[in-house]
């Protein structure tokens, strides 16, 4: 048995463990465990510094999960886009391929908790159905291998999945979505990486949420993956008390880049049943993005997205940088809230003329900008007119 498998065996993974280790009362512990299975492996447990810290919040159940928050169990409507149990096919050219229900740590905020940890819903027995579906759909060129955590499969089983995908001529890209480098980095072994290397181009998306998760062990795991040539991206979930602070996100993203992991997405926490206590106002995410862009390397600035309820897909949300735009010019502001005018291309431009644009998408001209235009038109040069704009007050 490999080290990571031995560590898994020593996980906290029952209501009784919760009672013994964290003084939960038995009934609450049992209700929490039946709502969503408990598993905290000894590595991730060792990252906790004090009760209620950002690591604790992600892995130790909270009685708030038992409150009736009125949220749905499948907010992204994945089950409706699921032609076979292991596949979600929502976008034209890519599918989500669920290959196991198991994870080395069950995150209390998990979007897919209706299925994760339940082997009747995601199981290896559905893998062949998934491969057959992908084979029968030549439009699928990108497959996201997920679960659960696909690296919970043994090397042999994972290789069967990767080999099966590579035998399908129209599959161009394989993406493995795993939390292992963060929650159980001992899983990333030289043997695993050697096996995965045979199935390039293969992208690995990891899932770090807080700078305390960037440890020497995590760095070693990411180094192994990066040295093998897998492009690495990070998906972070924005959560109250965990990372809802621009300085924390900045520190996390800088540390990720030092491990050759590119920050890819910040997700607004999904509206999933029993996770309401993690959700933050949209404004928090926008403020974090505002304090990243321009203030740190562009490489450390991911997309902030909302996964639209009901299956609308990921929609990027940006702070307001465009203050005004018509057929003559655009007025934009930079990260220091300085405002600039930039002349629009006219004449031979292939950009749609305003008359062709649906009225609903035309920006109304704000009063404050009209005033600026009047002043700007008095200036000798219309290009790059820079005016001061007060920064919004903090908070
Ligand atoms: S590792 Fe991923 S799938 Fe597993 S519990 Fe955490 S968020 Fe859910």
In this prediction, residue 15 carries a pLDDT of 97
Kindly give the distance from the C-alpha atom of residue 347 to the centroid of ligand 1, in angstroms, as a whole number. 53
Gap between the terminal Cα atoms of the chain: 52
Give yes or no: residues 256 and 124 share one domain. Answer: yes
| Backbone torsion region of residue 121, taken as left when φ is above 0, otherwise alpha when ψ lies between -120 and 50, otherwise beta | alpha
Kindly give the distance from the C-alpha atom of residue 9 to the centroid of ligand 1, in angstroms, as a whole number. 18
Give yes or no: residues 297 and 168 share one domain. Answer: yes
In this prediction, residue 373 carries a pLDDT of 47
Domain count, the chain: 2
Q: Which two tokens stand for residue 37?
A: 């299975």
Separate counts of helices (H) and strands (E) for the chain? 13, 13
* The length of the chain, given as a count of residues: 395
In this prediction, residue 357 carries a pLDDT of 56
Is residue 34, in this structure, part of any structural domain at all?
no
Q: Assess whether the C-beta atom of 236 lies below 6 angstroms from ligand 1.
A: no
Is residue 94, in this structure, part of any structural domain at all?
yes
Query: Against a cut of 0.75, is the pTM above it?
Result: yes
310 close to 77: Cβ distance less than 8 angstroms: yes
In this prediction, residue 78 carries a pLDDT of 87
In this prediction, residue 275 carries a pLDDT of 96
Give yes or no: residues 228 and 269 share one domain. Answer: yes
In this prediction, residue 350 carries a pLDDT of 58
Q: Which two tokens stand for residue 104?
A: 């080395």
In this prediction, residue 363 carries a pLDDT of 53
Domain boundary residue, one of 299, 316, 333: 316
In this prediction, residue 393 carries a pLDDT of 41
Q: What does the pLDDT look like over 249-294, one tens digit per residue?
A: 999 999 999 999 999 999 999 999 999 999 999 999 999 999 999 9
In this prediction, residue 389 carries a pLDDT of 45
Is residue 23, in this structure, part of any structural domain at all?
no
Please give the distance of CA 276 from its chain centroid, rounded to a whole number. 17
Q: Which two tokens stand for residue 34?
A: 């039946």
The low-confidence residues of the chain, meaning pLDDT below 50, are 366-395
User: Can you state the angle between helices 127-135 and 155-166, rounded to 10 degrees?
Assistant: 20
Asked if 307 is an active-site residue, the reply is yes
Is residue 161, in this structure, part of any structural domain at all?
yes
Q: Assess whether the C-beta atom of 116 lies below 6 angstroms from ligand 1.
A: yes
Is residue 45, in this structure, part of any structural domain at all?
no
Where do runs of H (alpha helix) occur along 60-173? 127-135, 155-166
In this prediction, residue 235 carries a pLDDT of 98
In this prediction, residue 351 carries a pLDDT of 55
Is residue 1, in this structure, part of any structural domain at all?
no
Q: Assess whether the C-beta atom of 182 lies below 6 angstroms from ligand 1.
A: no
Q: Which residues on adjacent β-strands are paired with residue 173?
A: 142
d(CA 209, CA 14): 25
Give yes or no: residues 307 and 345 share one domain. Answer: no
Is residue 368, in this structure, part of any structural domain at all?
yes
Domain boundary residue, one of 292, 316, 340: 316
Give yes or no: residues 265 and 336 share one domain. Answer: no
Give yes or no: residues 241 and 338 share one domain. Answer: no
Give yes or no: residues 155 and 214 share one domain. Answer: yes
Is residue 350, in this structure, part of any structural domain at all?
yes
Question: Which sign does the torsion angle of CA 171, 173, 178, 181 carry?
Answer: positive
185 close to 179: Cβ distance less than 8 angstroms: no
Element (H, E) at 388: strand 386-388
Give yes or no: residues 360 and 259 share one domain. Answer: no
66 close to 31: Cβ distance less than 8 angstroms: yes
Ligand 1 atom closest to the CA of 146, numbered from 1: 3
Asked if 103 is an active-site residue, the reply is yes
Asked if 110 is an active-site residue, the reply is yes
In this prediction, residue 110 carries a pLDDT of 96
- CATH assignment at residue 127: 3.20.20.70
Q: What does the pLDDT look like over 67-91, one tens digit per residue?
A: 988 899 998 888 889 999 999 999 9
Question: Which sign does the torsion angle of CA 153, 156, 159, 161 carry?
Answer: negative
Name the residue of 96, 118, 148 whose CB sits within 8 Å of the most ligand 1 atoms, as the mutation to test its pocket. 148
CA angle 117, 121, 124 (to 5 degrees): 85
Shortest CA distance to 39 belongs to which of 116, 84, 106?
106
Peptide bond into 148 cis (omega under 30): yes
DSSP-derived 3-state class of residue 96:
strand
Residue 285 neighbours by CB under 8 Å, 6+ apart: 238, 266, 268, 304, 317
Give yes or no: residues 176 and 304 share one domain. Answer: yes
Task: Give 3's Cβ-side CA count (13 Å radius).
Answer: 10
DSSP structural state of residue 139 = T
In this prediction, residue 205 carries a pLDDT of 98
d(CA 40, CA 22): 12
Where do runs of H (alpha helix) occur along the chain? 3-9, 15-22, 26-35, 42-45, 54-59, 127-135, 155-166, 180-183, 190-196, 216-227, 246-258, 282-292, 367-378
Give yes or no: residues 161 and 282 share one domain. Answer: yes
Asked if 93 is an active-site residue, the reply is no
Domain boundary residue, one of 277, 293, 316: 316
Q: Assess whether the C-beta atom of 103 lies below 6 angstroms from ligand 1.
A: yes
Range of the domain at 135: 78-316
In this prediction, residue 379 carries a pLDDT of 46
Name the residue of 37, 116, 146, 184 whose CB sits within 8 Å of the most ligand 1 atoms, as the mutation to test its pocket. 116
Give yes or no: residues 99 and 226 share one domain. Answer: yes
Q: Assess whether the C-beta atom of 106 lies below 6 angstroms from ligand 1.
A: yes
Give yes or no: residues 97 and 185 share one domain. Answer: yes
């Amino acid at each position: 048995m490999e080290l990571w498998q031995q560590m898994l065996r020593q996980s906290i993974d029952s209501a009784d463990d919760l009672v013994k280790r964290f003084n939960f009362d038995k009934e609450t512990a049992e209700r929490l465990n039946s709502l969503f299975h408990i598993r905290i492996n000894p590595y991730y447990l060792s990252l906790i510094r004090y009760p209620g810290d950002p690591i604790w919040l992600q892995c130790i159940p909270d009685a708030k999960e038992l409150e009736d928050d009125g949220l749905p169990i499948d907010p992204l409507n994945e089950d409706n886009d699921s032609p076979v149990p292991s596949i979600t096919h929502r976008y034209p050219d890519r599918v989500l391929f669920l290959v196991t229900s198991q994870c080395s740590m069950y995150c209390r905020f998990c979007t897919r908790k209706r299925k994760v940890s339940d082997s009747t819903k995601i199981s290896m027995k559905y893998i062949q159905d998934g491969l057959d579906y992908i084979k029968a759909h030549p439009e699928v060129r990108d497959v996201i291998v997920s679960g659960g955590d696909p690296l919970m499969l043994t090397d042999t089983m994972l290789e069967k999945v990767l080999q099966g995908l590579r035998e399908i001529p129209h599959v161009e890209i394989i993406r493995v979505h795993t939390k292992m480098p963060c929650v159980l980095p001992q899983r990333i072994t030289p043997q695993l990486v050697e096996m995965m290397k045979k199935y390039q181009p293969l992208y690995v998306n990891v899932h770090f949420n807080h700078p305390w998760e960037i440890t020497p062990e995590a760095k070693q795991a990411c180094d192994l993956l990066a040295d093998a040539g897998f492009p690495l991206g990070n998906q972070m979930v924005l959560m109250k008390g965990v990372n809802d602070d621009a300085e924390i996100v900045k520190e996390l993203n800088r540390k990720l880049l030092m491990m050759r992991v590119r920050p890819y997405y910040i997700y607004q926490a999904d509206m999933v049943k029993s996770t309401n206590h993690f959700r933050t106002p949209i404004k928090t995410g926008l403020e974090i993005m505002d304090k990243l862009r321009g203030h740190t390397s562009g490489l450390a600035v991911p997309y902030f997205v909302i996964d639209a309820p009901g299956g609308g897909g990921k929609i990027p949300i940006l702070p307001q940088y465009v203050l005004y735009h018509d057929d003559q010019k655009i007025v934009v502001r930079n990260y220091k809230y300085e405002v600039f005018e930039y002349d629009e291309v006219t004449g031979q431009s292939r950009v749609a003329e305003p008359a062709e644009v649906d009225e609903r998408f035309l920006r109304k001209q704000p009063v404050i900008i009209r005033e600026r235009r009047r002043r700007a038109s008095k200036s000798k040069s219309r290009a790059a007119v820079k005016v001061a704009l007060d920064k919004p007050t903090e908070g």
